[in-house]
Structure 1
Amino acid sequence: MNNPITILAAAVALSGAVSLARAEAINVPAPDFTLESRSGENLRLEDHRGEVVMLNFWASWCGPCRQEMPLMDDLYAQYKDLGFTILAVNVDENREEAHRFLDSVPVDYPILYDPESTVSELYEVQAMPTTVMIDRDGNARYVHYGFQSGYEDDYEAQIRELVRE
């Protein structure tokens, strides 16, 4: 239990706040990982040091993901030239399910595949979607569990804050 994300997840779970939390403010090192992307290349979180990263875990069966992803695409278009990116980690075991989802909900930001849920487990993902905002120094600063209409305003405020730092 030395992983800072594990400690955070345990604290939030013990407090019972997971179902109530819109966002938890944190400041812990984001665990590094490498995953294959939709384009076929491997992407590593550490390679995005110096950028603000919105790390989003999603699944094709997730209704709130369908609602959230086009809103995230708008944020990506608006802030990508300011040192912001999104890494959307799909957790489906079957990649074809993710492709079908993306055919109906197209996005321009990078899609990564975590079919064995190794990175999802590393980040203690317990809800779909789960979003972690990572600052330019590689620290996880905010974590969001689930998605409801209006969360995109929180995302934007956090992106603006972290891009300005």
Structure 2
Amino acid sequence: MNEKKNKKKQNRLIMRSAILLVLIAAIGYTIYNSVTAKDVMILEPGDEAPNFSLTDLEGNQHKLSDYKGQGVFLNFWGTWCEPCKEEMPAMASQYADYKDKGVQVLAVNIAQSDFEVKSFADQYGLTFPVVIDKTKDVMTAYNIRPLPTTVLVNPEGDIERIITGEMTEQDIQGYMESIKPE
């Protein structure tokens, strides 16, 4: 009987020790993550759009600051994203109408291969600059979560609006109109 009690006590001690170790590990992981995490600012309309420089499929550099004085329709997307596929033809159509009115489109692909992105751009006949955020630094700076996400940057370089999810052609036209220089 005493042996049975000792065995139960030993099992309880082992279980409690295991739980304590798991808790200590979880607390340690949380502290480590907090200390080493990059400071990610949540962007809102009215904030200055973070500058970046990315290379397009032809090897040209695109810096957001180079577009100051123009509206920028900054679209974050992926080739696998169904809503992205749906809105690309509408973006291309509206870009044709607005590029001479001071509204630029920058399509920022999130870390896919040049081949995948080029194939997609060719398939959809995209004429606006398509850049690839290979390191996801721009995605992080803009705190992009769902794809597609579009950030409207006004001619002064400030964020006008952040749109998540698929847009219709009518939506895109309205958004481009809203960032068109006066």
Structure-1-length-normalised TM-score: 0.81
* Structure 1 gap ranges (5+): 9-25
Q: Check whether the contact 2:71–2:181 (CA below 8 A) recurs between aligned residues.
A: no
Separation of aligned partners in 2, 1:7 and 1:53: 16
2:177 to 139, 160, 163: 160
State how 1:14-93 maps to structure 2 within 5 Å. Answer: 26-93=45-112
Q: Which amino acid aligns with 2:145?
A: Q
Q: How far 1:89 sits from its partner (Å)?
A: 0.5
Separation of aligned partners in 1, 2:181 and 2:66: 20
Tell me which of the two structures has the higher relative contact order, counting C-alpha pairs closer than 8 angstroms and 6 or more residues apart: 1
Task: Rate the CA distance shift 1:142–1:37 in 2: closer, same or farther, 3 A.
Answer: same
Segments ≥4 residues shifted beyond 6 Å: none
- Equivalent residue number for residue 23 of structure 1: none
Q: Which amino acid aligns with 1:90?
A: N
Partner of 2:47, secondary structure, is strand
Overall identity of the aligned pairs, in %: 33
- Equivalent residue number for residue 18 of structure 1: none
Q: Check whether the contact 2:78–2:112 (CA below 8 A) recurs between aligned residues.
A: no
Write out per-residue CA displacement over residues 69-115 of structure 1, whole angstroms, 9 at most, x where no aligned residue: 11001110001111111000111332211122223212110011111
Q: Check whether the contact 1:128–1:145 (CA below 8 A) recurs between aligned residues.
A: yes
Task: Rate the CA distance shift 1:57–1:2 in 2: closer, same or farther, 3 A.
Answer: closer
Q: How far 1:164 sits from its partner (Å)?
A: 5.0
* Structure 2 gap ranges (5+): 1-38
More strand as a share of residues: 1
More helix as a share of residues: 2
Q: Which amino acid aligns with 1:63?
A: E
- Equivalent residue number for residue 149 of structure 2: 130
Q: Which amino acid aligns with 1:159?
A: M
- Equivalent residue number for residue 20 of structure 1: none
Separation of aligned partners in 1, 2:181 and 2:120: 33
Number of residue pairs matched by the alignment: 144
